[in-house]
Structure 1
């Protein structure tokens, strides 16, 4: 699965170079049940935006999403209907 260009830029900016590639790889390989029929960018962003560029924190968010993707959305403040606006504010308006 592809990662949106704007989220890829965010990840490359906030994670160290080698770690950024590992994060992108993990996101590309997410099983469908983790995506929960949601917009993939929404789930991907929920897994990274509260990590402060930490691989360990990303792994924690990934474990949470594998248990219940809805909890990951709540933890990232992307559970509400305004999530597209939230992502635009965090990542920029262009997908």
Structure 2
């Protein structure tokens, strides 16, 4: 996975939710590693990474919990974030802004 694993709109959400530069950098690094780990899931990278950020809602402890869940079962992550059912694209656009 490349640096491009984090979309521009997800990057903006991370900066908004984690205004501390070091925290945002840590979140982005963890997401890039997660993108590699979940590369075989055949799910959209943005959807999976956004799920962890949306669950965290600016809380680093909650973010770590979401990342651990993603590694255990990414389907549970998507359900917890409200991105696991039909219409997930609209929900993602609503929460991150249009692509």
How far did residue 41 of structure 1 move?
A: 0.3
Q: In structure 2, what is the equivalent of residue 58 of structure 1?
A: 63
RMSD: 1.4
2:34 match: secondary structure: coil
2:26 match: secondary structure: helix
Q: In structure 2, what is the equivalent of residue 13 of structure 1?
A: 16
1:81 match: secondary structure: coil
Residue ranges of structure 1 left out of the alignment (5+ in a row): none
TM-score (norm 1): 0.91
Which of these residues, 80, 86, 90, is aligned with residue 85 of structure 1?
Answer: 90
Runs of 4+ in 1 over 6 A off after TM superposition: none
How far did residue 34 of structure 1 move?
A: 2.6
Residue ranges of structure 2 left out of the alignment (5+ in a row): none
Figure out how many residues of one structure are paired with residues of the other and give that number. 94
From the two aligned structures, give the one with the greater helix fraction.
2
How far did residue 50 of structure 1 move?
A: 1.9
